[in-house]
Structure 1
């Protein structure tokens, strides 16, 4: 129905432009030819009519100009309606997919497969799938965190988990929140699972130095206080 209305309006406007191109042309040409004839060979009585005839010419031209302006507004209005209702949303849709499709594919395919393997108890397969996700989205901390969690909780390999987190921390220029999160998880593994509190303390002190006057620094200080270090 919408496109039928567009077509009807388009045909009406097209017909209007066709009428506009033809309207008044013959009348103006006739009047101007008659004015030329009168000025060249017309009688006195006929020449007295020339000013009125010139006014008629200007009137016809003025009406034609007004009709052209109205048709231009109508045409612009129809084009604007089609652009806003149909073209602009289509462009936005294409742009959105161009920006987000890649990330959605990683989330829907690789991450989904990794979680499915994890649920099935295929821990090595899950780790491999999470590594694929990390390679596809190197600035996404989640695959690294999931790999370390599997190594620590399911494979009883906290040393491997610590190595995964350390490689992640050192391998990317992380945003502040991501870097701090990974460092806290690494400190947690050293303190709780590896019994290496000295390394855990060193990592938290590094958080304080790297992110001073932030909530991460405050959280690190609080954790060290709980451990009786500060």
Structure 2
């Protein structure tokens, strides 16, 4: 149809040129001129209608292409975005451990937290949670001490993380095992390892409360 539309345009131009030539001859060609003008007018009307029809057909074709190809692609991208986000949530290393805690499976939770610690070695939370389970649910403060010492000695921690683990260890020594001497030694290590920091000041304050400085 596009070829026919373009052909009509060329034919109209050709007839207009013929009309100009006929008018310029000076001959009495009124009847022929009128006939040709009517033909041109009819062709132009036909061309206008064809143009409108082509516009509608093109719009319809674009709509069909959008529905068949573009819209499904957009929907697929959206679906992938949703499910990929859900998958990222499911891949949270702590997810399984929290589920075990909710079920009261303490040994399973400890194993899952250890796996999370391997997956995220700079995350102190799995170690803290393991020690908490060992104290609160398994009543095994000795294992909690081992857990925290393993964490402290097995990783190059950021200052805040290392200090937090050491203070937690000192707390377990003092409150759970009633071993203030070991607790004080741990706080001394904090002061030596982080001199002139708030961690050192907090450790000194605690030792002062205990009457050890």
Normalising by structure 2, we get a TM-score of 0.58
Corresponding position of 1:162: 145
Contact 1:190 1:199 in 2 (8 A): no
Q: Does 192-201 or 179-188 show the bigger shift? A: 192-201
Determine helix, strand or coil for the equivalent of 1:43. Answer: helix
Aligned residue pairs, count: 184
Between Structure 1 and Structure 2, whose CA radius of gyration is higher? 2
Which runs of 5 or more structure 2 residues have no equivalent in the other structure?
A: 26-35
Contact 1:151 1:161 in 2 (8 A): yes
- Two-structure CA RMSD over aligned residues (Å): 4.6
Corresponding position of 2:127: 144
Corresponding position of 2:29: none
Corresponding position of 1:180: 163
- Pairs within 5 Å for 1:4-23: 21=2
CA distance in structure 2 between the aligned counterparts of 1:169 and 1:36, rounded to whole angstroms: 96
Corresponding position of 1:212: 197
CA distance in structure 2 between the aligned counterparts of 1:174 and 1:128, rounded to whole angstroms: 22
Give every structure 1 segment of 4 or more consecutive aligned residues whose post-TM-superposition deviation is greater than 6 Å. Answer: none
Q: 2:22 aligns with which of 43, 46, 59?
A: 43
Corresponding position of 1:203: 189
CA distance in structure 2 between the aligned counterparts of 1:168 and 1:212, rounded to whole angstroms: 22
Contact 2:116 2:126 in 1 (8 A): yes
Which runs of 5 or more structure 1 residues have no equivalent in the other structure?
A: 1-18
Q: Does residue 79 of structure 2 align to residue 90 of structure 1?
A: yes
> Cα deviation per residue 1:54-102 (whole Å; 9 max; x = unaligned)?
xx8xxx8xx89xx79xx6xx97xx89x969x956643542442343320
